[in-house]
Amino acid sequence: MRHPFRAPEYRALAATALEAAGASSLPHVQAKHEQAARTWSELADAEDARMAARPQTPPSGV
């Protein structure tokens, strides 16, 4: 079973976290959201790498 490609979802979550960081006036809350954005971005990059390393399989049923 193949897993869905989730990098776009992770990048959207990173963008949301960055928006939250920018909207916060408390430094520790900004830092929390910035760390979350970095983590989501790292996950998206890892997902891209995983997809690039995946062997290509021809479509079935033909």
CA–CA separation, 31 and 16 (whole Å): 14
Nearest to 33 by CA among 22, 45, 48: 22
What pLDDT was estimated at residue 56? Answer: 75
- In the chain, pLDDT over 70 holds for what percent of residues? 89
**Per-residue pLDDT tens over the stretch 40-52:** 999 999 999 998 8
Confidence bin at 2 (pLDDT 50/70/90): low
Instruction: Give the C-alpha separation, 35 to 21, whole Å.
Output: 9
What is the reported pTM?
Answer: 0.81
What pLDDT does 6 receive? Answer: 94
* Predicted pLDDT of residue 61: 62
Q: What pLDDT is recorded for position 4? A: 80
